[in-house]
Amino acid sequence: MILFPKTVTAKLSLTRKFVFLRANSQIMFDRPADLKNALHPNMHDESRQGEVLVIEQTPKYKGRKLYIESYGCAMNFADSEIVASIMLDMGFETTSQYKEADVIFINTCSIRDNAEQRVRNRLREFGAAKRKSPGMTIGVLGCMAERLKSKFLEEEKLVDIVIGPDSYRDLPNLINQADEGARAVNVLLSREETYADISPVRLNSNGISAFVSIMRGCDNMCSFCVVPFTRGRERSRDPLSIIQEARELFNNGYKELTLLGQNVDSYKWRASPPTPLQGRGETHKGNVGDYSDHVPLSSGEGRGEAVNFAQLLEMVALIDPQLRVRFSTSHPKDITDDVLHTMIKYDNICNHIHLPVQSGNSRVLNLMNRTYTRQWYLERIDTIKKMIPDCAISTDIIIGFCTETEEEHRDTLSMMDYVQYDFAYMYTYSERPGTLAAKKFKDDIPPEVKTRRFNEILTKQQEGSHKRLLNHTGKTYRVLIDGLSKKSDLDFSGKTEYNITVIFPVNPDYMPGDYVNVLIEKCTPATLLGNIITN
């Protein structure tokens, strides 16, 4: 099945007015206020959790409405775009009002317990709507569907469809089953599904930034993490399909792409056909938490010539110097000097690396099965800073992992002092059923201790981030305008290559999607403020 591109919001620089071309209508915006209504920031951030996703286009209309909302990581948001593409092909249109939907999809996250609780609460609201409109279909997608499988149907009586992240091609079949009154489940995990041939519908797109999935699943077995069980084996997507998607996005006006994978550094594609072993789809059998059949296997095993991540990055960077390229997530054990050399070679690859540390202590890292030590991580940081002195570095930190002592917690704080992270996602440890940590270790750090340690980490990061922002004042940066400021129609909002938001007065000579040089004059705790300077 080949589905053709359906980029739904394309920006054209036809005039210096704000002109946007949508699939079925051309809309002119004379005033920034109109522009503000038309644009949504597209980078993944926490404030997007639960955000409703809307296709701004009328597809072939069959009169059935889809409401879809997503939780969790950027991969999940990217998956919702695949799902929307498949549903669009079936003739659905989207709605932002779940009460008027024929089908409600909730794309779920299992990474922490509170992510799952949020979904349960939301399902209660959807359930109330369904009681009023019994013909409505409710589908649970993504990691929680994969983790709980058919148990979900027992626990949540109003759910009709449970579908895992590798089974979205089966949606037409499952929707048909639901239409006939059956409750349907497909949580088959695959060793080869990458949805490479499905061109995602860009949802709530600002027409400037987009995610491109380059791989799926994960073969690392970090002891705290449920991802290898909910998203299956690691597999890389055909580079040609990635380049084609990236090129189409650029041709449609997009200026910034983020290449997505759980561990982009282990991206590997081999050209020859898959072996019989790889052609076989497989599912995790057994009950919730029974992951005993999961044996890590390198992706692409047994194939011919390989393309690695550094090469893929170069291929995307070569599409056009005006196309900014980002990537996430890098694993400290895998990030290579080749990737750093490629970043240096191409100005349009943003000098920003998201390098989750999780803990600053080697014993804890060992318990987490991260397969690197504090010293190894510090060496990687030193190398990055030596090779790319201005590189922004962000991270993920888990606080209060099993048996973590005060001293080990202080090692994480000292790691933060050393690295000076520009940004950090910080989480208290949440035990996930079936993971190695849940089987082997006691979740023994009391909640109040986790909270206190969390606050110490948070305070350090906030202070550090602010200090880093202050360092940018007085400097001039190339900023990609991505829309209007959330607070004022008179200001543009844009991003530096370090992924820092910059706010500066609107200048009618420029529009979203343009690069401008901005002199940074001051900053708030999280944002740079400046003025466009003309060369």
Which residue has 């403020």 as its token pair? 529
- In the bound complex, what is the minimum distance in angstroms from residue 133's beta carbon to ligand SAM? 34
377 binds ligand SAM (CB under 6 A): no
- Pattern 423-442, ligand SAM, x by CB under 6 A: ----x-xx-x----------
**Closer residue to ligand SAM, CB minimum distance, 45 or 125:** 45
Exactly one of 95, 137, 263, 351 binds ligand SAM (CB under 6 A); that residue is 263
For residue 473, is the peptide bond before it cis, meaning its omega torsion is within 30 degrees of 0? Answer: no
**Closer residue to ligand SF4, CB minimum distance, 222 or 419:** 222
266 binds ligand SAM (CB under 6 A): no
Binding partner selected for residue 228 from ligand SF4, ligand SAM, none, CB under the kind-specific 5 to 8 Å limit: ligand SF4
Q: In whole angstroms, what separates CA 492 from the centre of its chain? A: 24
398 binds ligand SAM (CB under 6 A): yes
Exactly one of 103, 185, 225, 500 binds ligand SF4 (CB under 6 A); that residue is 225
**Closer residue to ligand SF4, CB minimum distance, 331 or 352:** 331
Binding partner selected for residue 78 from ligand SF4, ligand SAM, none, CB under the kind-specific 5 to 8 Å limit: none
- In the bound complex, what is the minimum distance in angstroms from residue 197's beta carbon to ligand SAM? 25
Minimal CA–CA distance to 313: which of 219, 246, 384, 395?
Answer: 246
Which two three-digit tokens encode residue 445? 């750090």
Q: Could you give the CA distance from residue 278 to residue 143 in angstroms, rounded to a whole number? A: 22
Q: Could you give the CA distance from residue 252 to residue 483 in angstroms, rounded to a whole number? A: 17
Q: Let me know how long the chain is.
A: 535
- In the bound complex, what is the minimum distance in angstroms from residue 110's beta carbon to ligand SF4? 11
Q: Cβ distance 44 to 260 under 8 Å? A: no
Minimal CA–CA distance to 36: which of 203, 201, 202, 206?
Answer: 206
- Binders of ligand SF4 in range 399-438 (CB under 6 A): none
Q: In whole angstroms, what separates CA 521 from the centre of its chain? A: 31
Minimal CA–CA distance to 495: which of 252, 249, 202, 255?
Answer: 255
- In the bound complex, what is the minimum distance in angstroms from residue 413's beta carbon to ligand SAM? 16
The 3 state secondary structure assigned to 413-454 is HHHHHHHCCCEEEEEECCCCCCCHHHHHCCCCCCHHHHHHHH
510: helix, strand or coil:
coil
Binding partner selected for residue 258 from ligand SF4, ligand SAM, none, CB under the kind-specific 5 to 8 Å limit: none
Minimal CA–CA distance to 527: which of 478, 465, 458, 463?
Answer: 465
**Closer residue to ligand SAM, CB minimum distance, 142 or 464:** 142
263 binds ligand SF4 (CB under 6 A): yes
Q: Cβ distance 226 to 110 under 8 Å? A: yes
Question: With CB under 6 A as the contact rule, which of the stretches 52-60, 156-164, 223-231, 413-421 interacts with ligand SF4?
Answer: 223-231
Site residues for ligand SAM per CB under 6 A? 73, 111-112, 224-225, 227, 262-263, 329, 331, 356, 358, 396, 398, 427, 429-430, 432
Site residues for ligand SF4 per CB under 6 A? 218, 220, 222, 225, 227-228, 262-263, 331
